Amino acid sequence: MGVCKDGGLMAERRLYLIFKEKIKKADPNSFWYKIPDTFGIGGLRPFDGFLVIQGIPFAIEFKSEGEKATKYQLYQLTDFTLAGGESFIFVENEISMDMFIDIIMNKVKERKNE
């Protein structure tokens, strides 16, 4: 599981939109699904969304600066990784979204060469 950060204060929703735009440019055939927010209507969301690139599944959680993943989210991300997927937490203020996309695309190349 990777932890990445990005510069600037943005709401997590803004991070999803930027991510969706940039990942489609990196791989137009990628599939991104943002898990809907529950806002108290029941159920915990395991992480923010699923990404599939060239058959490789990713679980991604976005956090604004200063925010941390919950124990439940960490458990779900770890479980996803143990099941054979890749999991990342992107926290703004350390590396750029472009660098995060590069990390994902490099992971795709690694997995395709296995």
Per-residue pLDDT tens for 23-77? 999 999 999 999 887 666 556 788 999 999 999 999 999 988 888 888 999 999 9
Chain CA centroid to CA 43, Å: 20
Both structure tokens of 94: 């350390």
The pTM for the full model equals 0.84
How far lies 33's CA from each of 19, 24, 29, in Å? Answer: 11, 12, 13
Q: Round to whole Å and give the CA distance between 82 and 93.
A: 28
Q: Round to whole Å and give the CA distance between 81 and 25.
A: 25
Residues 6+ apart with CB under 8 A from 75: none
- What is the band of 108 on the pLDDT scale with cuts at 50, 70, 90? very high
What is the average pLDDT value for the chain, to the nearest integer? 86
**Is CATH 3.30.70.2470 correct for 2-34+45-112?**
no
Closest CA to 90 of 44, 113, 58: 58
Q: Round to whole Å and give the CA distance between 95 and 29.
A: 25
With tokens 């997927």, the residue in question is: 85
Residues 6+ apart with CB under 8 A from 66: none
